[in-house]
Amino acid sequence: MKVFRLLTRTLVTFCAVVAACAFVLVIVLTFVVSGFRDVTISGWNVLGSQVARWFLFWAGIYVVHNTLPIAIAHGRTRREFLSAATGFSVVLAVAMSLIVWVGFVVEGGIYSAMGWKADPHGSVVAYFLMFLVWCAVGMFCAAAFDRFGAAGVFSVPVGLMLVMVTTAGIPGAGNLPFVPDLPSLMGAGWHLVSVVAFAGAVLGTWVVARDMPVRVRTL
């Protein structure tokens, strides 16, 4: 529990602060843009659908690459840490999707006050699932690179497959390569596929990191 508590307290707070700053920046940019042309899309959705998942991916990498060795050095087991990190990824994804949702509400208010138009965005659940999988895949790839060095690159195609479906429910997140009409074929089934992808990423992280040595830090 101690590991989980510190991770959520510090990292979730940090990510929330970053997200809040990003929101202010987006609103300011939107006002700047409105001086030149009509506002027709949601600035917050550009961030939420494109940038945010990479931020969650980074958070996953940070947790395994930077924090796992510290936990072991302070007498925690990999097992303890990985279960804490799994819980943390859920909490972080919940927190970030709520922030995204609050952002849409506030942005919607501003847009209607200014008479601007916004394009559609996804549901809170869609953002939550996307964030969850991206964070877990970040952990998986970090574990693979830390454990196997350059051979960790083989985790990248696996990671790509796992995150592929997560953008299905989010407008503006881009079409899937090769199989652009897969989301419409799956219908609501992509929720389940996302959950399975999350489980797969967590399992992969567990398998790779379970016996992982702590490398000597370079000077």
Partner 1 sequence: MRVDVQGLTLRYGDVTAVDDMSFSLSGNKIYGLLGRNGSGKTSLMSALAGYRKPSGSVQLDGEPVFENAAAMRQVCLVRHTADAADKGDKVSYVLEYGAAWRDTWDNPYALELVELFKIPLKSKVGELSLGQRSALGVVIGLASRSPLTMLDESHLGMDTPTRYAFYDALLTDFMAHPRTIIISTHLIEELASLLEEVVIIDGGRLVLQEEADVLRSRGTEVTGNAADVDEFTAGLTVLSSKSLGRSKSAMVYGGLDDGQFVRARQLGLELGPIALQDLFVHLTEPVGGKR
Burial label, 105 (beta-carbon count in 10 A; 0-12, 13-18, 19+):
exposed
We find the least distance from the C-beta atom of residue 95 to partner 1, in angstroms, to be 20
Binding mask 53-72 for partner 1 (x = CB under 8 A): -------------xx-xxxx
Contacts (CB under 8 A) with partner 1, residues 141-170: none
* Cβ at position 88, least distance to partner 1 in Å: 14
Which tokens in the block code for residue 206? 């567990």
Which residues have a Cβ under 8 Å from the Cβ of 211 and sit 6 or more positions away? 78
Residue 151 Cβ vs partner 1, minimum distance, rounded to whole Å:
13
CB 145, min distance to partner 1, A: 16
Report angle CA 159, 164, 169 to the nearest 5 degrees.
140
Asked if 79 interacts with partner 1 (CB under 8 A), we say yes
Q: How far apart are CA 18 and CA 107, in angstroms?
A: 17
> CB 64 → partner 1: shortest distance, Å?
13
Residue 175 to residue 195: CA distance in whole angstroms:
20
| Contacting residue, 38, 74, 105, 184, with partner 1 by CB under 8 A | 74
Asked if 5 is part of the footprint of partner 1 (rule: CB under 8 A), the reply reads yes
Q: x/- binding map, residues 180-219, to partner 1, per CB under 8 A?
A: ------------------------------xx-xx-xx-x
- Measured from the CB atom, the residue of 144 and 163 that comes closer to partner 1 is 144
Q: How far apart are CA 54 and CA 179, in angstroms?
A: 22
Q: Which is nearer to partner 1, 5 or 117 (CB)?
A: 5
Name the token pair of 130. 């996307």
Pick the closest to residue 15 from 91, 90, 96, 80 (CA basis): 96
Q: Binding partner 1 by CB under 8 A: which of 78, 99, 118, 121? A: 78
Q: Which spans of this chain sit near partner 1 (rule: CB under 8 A)?
A: 2-3, 5-6, 66-67, 69-80, 210-211, 213-214, 216-217, 219
